[in-house]
Amino acid sequence: MAKLIFLGTSNAISDASHENTHMVLAGDERVALIDCPNNPIQRLQKVGINADLVTDLILTHFHPDHVSGVPLFLMVMWLMGRIQPINIYGLQHTIDRMENLMDIFGWNTWPKFFPVKFTRLPEKVLVPVLECGDFHIFASAVKHFIPAIGLRIEFRNSKKVLAYSGDTKPCAQVVQLAMGADVLVHEATGASAGHSSAIQAGEEARHAKAGSLVLVHYPNGEFATRGPVADAQRKFKGPVTLAEDFMVLDFDK
Ligand SMILES: [Zn+2]
């Protein structure tokens, strides 16, 4: 099994049917959560994944709509009796703040807390994050307005490649992450500081010669914009999809 499931697809202003953007990458050996804006346990249950199976948590950057749920996620897993360790990865900027946040919650006073291993990734390009029988994940620093990463995920069995921009303005690092990828998942917040529009996401997909483009982290509800898919298609001729919560991308074959 190797699939990416969208647990949320909205930008920071979520609505009733679009949670903030986060995803789970589910393999046979490892299950990696990408960002944690809210307690993800119910959404994981909904897609048939027991939170106990989550081995890794990758945090793209320290903004509330990406990391606010981490303390509650860890606390609830502890209360549910988790004993196995979890790995949490991010840039130093992200992990320093996450450890401080947990200290503010006084987590060292929570008895018999399961081991949490923090890994500080260097702010470089194509840094290996984790490797297992299912996939190999690399991270590159991208161009948000605080230190942030995007990801490249290479699947072992199918040889397929998935790239995720994270929160970023268009930059060479995203094109490099997505070079020749089968799927580029790109944010489409809108053209603003440290973000990209759907048109720009289309340009990035074209520059990277990606096979297909999936738009995520887009405005919803009263802030929804018209036609993000059509916007991206003005620049990119491959298939373009608007991610929806609980959408599944299969990388088995
Ligand atoms: Zn952000």
What string of DSSP letters covers 101-124? HHHHTTGGGSTTPPPEEEEEEPSS
Pairing of strands 161-164, 183-187: parallel
Question: In this structure, what token pair is assigned to residue 171?
Answer: 């930059």
Q: By C-alpha distance, which of 27, 246, 22 is closest to 158?
A: 27
* Number of neighbouring beta carbons within 10 Å of residue 206: 17
Angstrom distances, CA of residue 10 to CA of 67, 189, 199, 219: 14, 9, 17, 6
Largest CA distance in the chain: 56
Bridge partners (DSSP) listed for residue 131: 136
Q: Return the pLDDT at 253.
A: 85
Residue type, 112: K
pLDDT tens profile 128-186: 999 999 999 999 999 999 999 999 999 999 999 999 999 999 999 999 999 999 999 99
- Please give the share of the chain, as a percent, with pLDDT higher than 90: 96
**pLDDT band at residue 226 using 50, 70 and 90 as cut-offs:** confident
Q: Return the pLDDT at 5.
A: 98
Q: What distance in angstroms lies between residue 75's CA and the mean position of ligand 1's atoms?
A: 24
Half-sphere exposure of 224 (CA within 13 A, CB side): 13
Angstrom distances, CA of residue 158 to CA of 3, 151, 153, 189: 11, 18, 12, 31
Q: Return the pLDDT at 123.
A: 97
Q: What distance in angstroms lies between residue 81's CA and the mean position of ligand 1's atoms?
A: 32
Question: For the residues 92-99, what does the mean pLDDT come to?
Answer: 98
**pLDDT band at residue 84 using 50, 70 and 90 as cut-offs:** very high
Q: What distance in angstroms lies between residue 64's CA and the mean position of ligand 1's atoms?
A: 8
Is-contact 44 7, C-beta < 8 A? yes
- Please give the share of the chain, as a percent, with pLDDT higher than 70: 100
Question: In this structure, what token pair is assigned to residue 6?
Answer: 């969208």
**72-85 as b/e: b if 16+ CB within 10 A:** ebbbbbbeeebeee
- Phi, psi torsion values for 108, nearest 5 degrees: -70, -10
Tell me how far apart the alpha carbons of residues 65 and 24 are, in angstroms, rounded to a whole number. 16
Q: What distance in angstroms lies between residue 46's CA and the mean position of ligand 1's atoms?
A: 26
Angstrom distances, CA of residue 228 to CA of 160, 188, 233, 241: 26, 8, 9, 9
Bridge partners (DSSP) listed for residue 46: none
Question: For the residues 198-214, what does the mean pLDDT come to?
Answer: 98
Q: What distance in angstroms lies between residue 94's CA and the mean position of ligand 1's atoms?
A: 11
Question: In this structure, what token pair is assigned to residue 206?
Answer: 């074209």
Tell me how far apart the alpha carbons of residues 207 and 128 are, in angstroms, rounded to a whole number. 23
pLDDT tens profile 168-179: 999 999 999 999
- Positive or negative torsion for Cα 252, 37, 179, 218: positive
Q: What distance in angstroms lies between residue 61's CA and the mean position of ligand 1's atoms?
A: 7
Q: What distance in angstroms lies between residue 223's CA and the mean position of ligand 1's atoms?
A: 17
Please tell me which residue, 119 or 253, carries the higher pLDDT value: 119
Question: For the residues 91-110, what does the mean pLDDT come to?
Answer: 97
